[in-house]
Amino acid sequence: MKKFVIGFSVLLCFALFVIGCATVSGGGGGSNYFPASDGNSWRHLDNNEGTQYVTVEGNKVITTRGDSVSAMDVTTKIFKSTTVSTSGGYSYSESYYVVNDSGVYYYGSSSGTTTEGQPFFEFPLVLGNSWTVTQGGGYTFIASVEGQEDVTVPAGTYSDCFKVVFRPYVGSVLQPGYINFWLADGVGQVKYEISIGGAAGLVQLTWTNLP
């Protein structure tokens, strides 16, 4: 089991950008679980926030932590998001990710970049695999790959989606709640739900354009 550090706010908003899927020996994994090709687009319906449109557009170079010798530039992909709220308002943001066959790494957003990538998903996705995502202040999430399920959302029915569950801990004590992701082969996040710390929501895929 591995331990990763990531902010809780990142965990909550990350789901709106989790896109992609592929299959390798022993499970699902690799960069196709988060396809970052320019032009890829998705539309999700959030039962709290409204409709979100996400498109991959270009690269952003970020300098990682280190001194003048060890510092290095990392090329991330830009995920641009436009949200149309239920009241008709608009919001816009960008998020930056490095995606490779070992996982997905978050490097911040248009509100501020990080100097070190924050791992979120560990590839390949294999039933029973787990890893730890730790927030400062003692709040820890244990993420685990817990099944493969057929999922029906407005965009259609997707077979054998990997279900990844994040469970919250304070120290070694399990807390109420969960965050669930369903990832479909060749499509990515088709469904996301959260019930934790007073926050509850459901996000479902309604449309894709994957040229």
Domain containing residue 194: CATH number? 2.40.360
Contact between residue 127 and residue 27 where contact means Cβ atoms under 8 Å apart: yes
Residue from 122, 143, 124 nearest 132 by CA: 143
Q: How far apart are CA 115 and CA 201, in angstroms?
A: 30
Residue 79: which H helix or E strand, with range? strand 73-84
Both structure tokens of 56 = 């991959």
Residue from 70, 71, 4, 16 nearest 42 by CA: 16
Tokens 């996040």 correspond to what residue?
A: 189
Contact between residue 118 and residue 4 where contact means Cβ atoms under 8 Å apart: yes
pLDDT in tens, 84-129: 998 889 999 999 999 888 888 888 899 988 888 877 888 898 999 9
Question: Lowest mean pLDDT: which of 4-13, 82-91, 115-124, 187-196?
Answer: 4-13
pLDDT at 136 over 70: no
pLDDT category at 199 given cuts 50, 70, 90 is confident
User: For the chain, how many structural domains are there in total?
Assistant: 1
Question: Lowest mean pLDDT: which of 37-41, 67-71, 141-145, 199-203?
Answer: 67-71
Q: Which residue has the higher pLDDT, 14 or 87?
A: 87
Cis peptide, bond prior to residue 124, ω within 30 of zero:
yes
Residue-level pLDDT at 186? 79
Q: How far apart are CA 150 and CA 182, in angstroms?
A: 9
- Which range marks the domain in which residue 199 is found? 3-209
pLDDT in tens, 68-89: 566 789 999 999 999 999 888 9
For the beta carbon of residue 14, count every other beta carbon within 10 angstroms. Answer: 23
Task: Report how far apart the first and last C-alpha atoms of the chain are (Å, whole number).
Answer: 36
Residue from 92, 103, 131 nearest 36 by CA: 103
**What does the pLDDT average to over 150-170?**
94
pLDDT at 67 over 70: no
Residue-level pLDDT at 178? 94
Question: Lowest mean pLDDT: which of 25-39, 52-66, 98-112, 118-132?
Answer: 25-39
Three-state secondary-structure class, residue 137 = coil
What is the identity of the amino acid at 13? C
C-alpha 188: how far from its chain's center?
A: 10
Residue-level pLDDT at 76? 95
What whole-number percentage of the chain has pLDDT above 70? 80
User: Which residues on adjacent β-strands are paired with residue 189?
Assistant: 183
pLDDT at 144 over 50: yes
Backbone angles phi, psi at 23, to 5 degrees: -130, 135
